Amino acid sequence: MEYYITQCIAGFIAFDENLEIAEYKLFKEDEIVSNLIKIEENEILEEEIELINELFSNEADDGTDVNRIIIETTKRKSQYKDLENYENIETESPNKGGEYLRNHQSEVFEEIGFEKSEDDIIEYYERLAIEQIKQSSQEEDKLLIQAINSVDDIDESISKLVERIRDWYTIYFPEMDTISNNETYIKLIALSEDREDIMENFKDQFSEDMDYSSGADIEKDDLKMLKSFAESIYSLQKSRRGLETYIDSKMEAIAPNLRDLLGATLGAKLIAHIGSIKRLATYPASVIQIMGAEKAIFRHLKTGERPPKHGLIFQHPSVRGAKWWNRGKIARNLALKITLAVRKDVFSGEYDPNIAEDYLKKVEQIEKENPFPKKTSQRRANERRSERDKGKGKSKKYKGNKKNKKNKRRRK
């Protein structure tokens, strides 16, 4: 005997081989929405377990025991391994019972006593949608994504503002241009009253002792405005550092393995690029390796250029600092470790320090085994270089021909 179990807004229903209702378990009215959410999250509910156990305990009309139960679900069969007669359980989506229910819903609902109007059912699904939106907004990775995107926005703003204040402050104190670190540059202006104060209290920031500046003298109001502008930028820089600390703590909470492997910032950027850590866990290593290099991929598909070897993961020191002939191998191994790390974070939540350690050992092995480029790699590099040179030559030649044509027209 075979039974087909399916779920719906009413609860769990089991059909026999003749698609007649054998057993059913209805949800309590106040638990319908929460149970539907649990089903979407692939949880096994008590009603489902009770229905399965009852089917196995009942004997069929002809005196034979239940041979097989086929459950319509997206869950894995291994999730039912703690149940008795586990070997007689199969998962299939869709199954015969589910298809029959969807085609005869009103008749089945009437038979099991689920007396709800269409408006009632619509209301349940509306409440379900609202709960899903609430849960989505409460997910911690959404907060993480907003934080890392804010860091990028602040970086862009600071870069433009620092460029502006450097041009502005140079009029008053040109010797400050020798300070290349932007944070130090802004800090000195924000914490000092004037250039004399900087020269007296921050002598260690300059390569030579200075008693006076060659800059122009400006009014007190001008100097006050410059200092206020620097204080605003300094405040942004402090906010950025606070966001970095926040991102690090969030990554440690929701993705400790990914943080250990990539660092908090790069790990958060990967999550932000794809939209959520759960989605990231579903992607294969080959996609993660080139994630963030979409423009290069489309260019490869359109023009036939060589495909990219890495995307966002190029920001990892081991990839960025590797020799050019080893970058592809290292990026591929890093992508494999990312898939392992993020899946551990999502599905088990256990921290495993061996993931990052094994990756670093693999990088050392790759660099040790490949101290010099192979002949094929060198040949390809030379071919690419010659192609670029030819392209430059063609463009110059074309430009020359264009100029010659213009000159000929002028002579005529």
The model's pLDDT over 36-82, given as tens digits with 9 standing for 90+, comes to 888 887 888 999 999 998 888 875 455 566 678 999 988 888 888 88
CATH topology for 255-369 is Serum Albumin; Chain A, Domain 1 (1.10.246)
The β-bridge partners of 90 are 70
Cis peptide bond prior to 308, omega within 30° of 0? no
pLDDT for res 398: 40
Q: Coil, strand or helix: which one is 292?
A: coil
Residue 138: what residue type? Q
Residues with Cβ within 8 Å of 68's Cβ and at least 6 positions away in sequence, in order, are 1, 2, 3, 88, 89, 90
pLDDT for res 378: 61
The model's pLDDT over 11-32, given as tens digits with 9 standing for 90+, comes to 999 999 899 999 999 998 888 8
User: Which CATH code fits 142-249?
Assistant: 1.10.287.4070
Is the CB of residue 326 less than 8 Å from the CB of residue 370?
Answer: yes
pLDDT for res 83: 86
Provide the 10 A C-beta neighbour count for residue 221.
Answer: 8
- Is the pLDDT score of 406 beyond 70? no
- Is the pLDDT score of 112 beyond 60? yes
pLDDT for res 389: 63
User: Which CATH code fits 2-138?
Assistant: 3.30.420.220
Residue 360: what residue type? L
Of 82-91, 158-167, 220-229, 383-392, where does mean pLDDT reach its minimum?
A: 383-392
- The pTM for the full model equals 0.59
User: Torsion-angle region of residue 292: left (phi > 0), alpha (psi -120 to 50) or beta?
Assistant: left
For residue 366, what are its two tokens? 């790759």
pLDDT band at 392 (very low <50, low <70, confident <90, very high): low
Question: Who has greater pLDDT, 101 or 116?
Answer: 101
Instruction: Please state the domain extents for the chain.
Output: 2-138, 142-249, 255-369
Residue in 111, 118, 123 with CA at minimum distance from that of residue 11 = 111
Name the helix (H) or strand (E) containing 205: none
